[in-house]
Amino acid sequence: MIPGSHMEGIDADPETSTLEQDLSSVHISVIDSSLIARLKTSQQASAQTKKHTPVNIDGYDYVLGIGDVLSIGVWDHPELTIPAAVQRTAEFDGFRIQADGTITYAYAANIPAAGKTIRQLHQVLVAKLSQVIEKPQLDLKVVSFRSQKTYVTGEVKKPGVFAITEIPLTLIDALNLAGGLSERADWRTVNFTRENKTEIIRLDDFYTKGDISQNRLLKHGDIIHVNRSDNQKVFVLGDVKKAGSIEINRYGLSLAEALSDVGGLNDATADANGIFVLRKRPANDEGIIADVYQLHAQNVVALVLADQFKLQPRDIIYVTTAPIARWNRLISQLVPTVQALDSISTIKTQGAFF
């Protein structure tokens, strides 16, 4: 009958039943010190279970492939060494590994090279040349690495294709070669794809916690993709001074910071006990689709808890209106109507008098 009224004794309509079903699939918790401790423990346990073996580059040896160009020289045998030319590069004069994986050298035709290391190919060539040269001293090196590549895409300053060489190349090295992350990059995670399998790398754990297990030794065909920070947002709604979305930067975002960024609560109308954080859960068998965390922010301790409560991307913060404020709003809606009715009554009285 009036805005916001509720009539007792009326049977629940379909909308009310739906609301009850929705609430049954939501887990509600109060933000206190014990909840903060549980969330931290859960995050630490999750990080430990996802750790990988740290990158080990000891014993790394480059494996030759099709397209690589080699420089081959034999000491004291200039006829077997291509002389350096002023206008030609070592790559131009070198020996390219052909499509069938072989190279051809003097006294050593169609030698399999692809799939071998420099040391292994050196041994094969020395064995072949030893048939015509006594104790050949062979100099063998790669002058152009063309067989193996890795790709860095997305929000980096210089995306591109980077060759894998005899120097081990890691994921962090590749990001640095690409100029580092751009201003719009998501500093929390990057996508790492190898052989059609994509893995989420916790980049923030590497930089802020020194978790070297997040690094990877790159191989041919690996793809590193840096996402934009568009999805790294939280939404602040309800009775605040400036509702809107806030981006989570590389250092994270707390509930207190989010409320501060929107100008805080409306002093006259907001309910300090009605600060809620809604967080969607991953699909599970428990039937719980979301967690709701409530903060009672009427004392200083609550502000400390708000600063310790770390938000996650796509969290929704909602601030409710205090009951007295809702009553005041109801009165403000009714006052114009009462005034109008009073004016009409006055006009009728005056008309009857005249």
- Tell me the domains of the chain and their CATH numbers: 25-48+232-326 (3.10.560.10), 69-144 (3.30.1950.10), 148-229 (3.10.560.10)
211 near 202, Cβ under 8 Å?
Answer: yes
Backbone angles phi, psi at 310, to 5 degrees: -85, 130
Residue 275: both structure tokens together:
């600060």
In Å, how far are 91, 94, 133 from 114, measured between CA atoms? Answer: 17, 16, 25
- The pLDDT, as a whole number, for residue 332 is 60
Rounded Cα gap, residues 139 and 213, in angstroms: 37
CA nearest to 124, candidates 144, 104, 142: 104
* DSSP secondary structure letters along 119-138: HHHHHHHHHHHTTTSSS--E
Q: Is 135 left (phi over 0), alpha (psi -120 to 50) or beta?
A: left
Q: How many helices (H) and strands (E) does the chain have?
A: 9, 16
| Mean pLDDT, contiguous 10-residue spans, the chain (354 residues) | 37 43 72 87 64 76 94 80 57 84 88 94 92 88 94 96 95 95 89 94 85 91 92 90 88 91 89 88 74 84 89 91 64 56 54 48
- The pLDDT, as a whole number, for residue 248 is 87
Sheet holding 160-163, edge to edge: 160-163, 149-154, 223-226, 189-194, 197-202
178 near 220, Cβ under 8 Å?
Answer: no
- The pLDDT, as a whole number, for residue 328 is 58
pLDDT digits (tens, 9 = 90+) for 145-198: 999 999 999 999 999 999 999 999 999 999 999 999 998 898 888 999 999 999
pLDDT digits (tens, 9 = 90+) for 265-275: 998 888 888 89
pTM: predicted TM-score of the whole model, two decimal places: 0.68
CA nearest to 172, candidates 180, 184, 183: 180
- The pLDDT, as a whole number, for residue 222 is 97
- The pLDDT, as a whole number, for residue 340 is 59
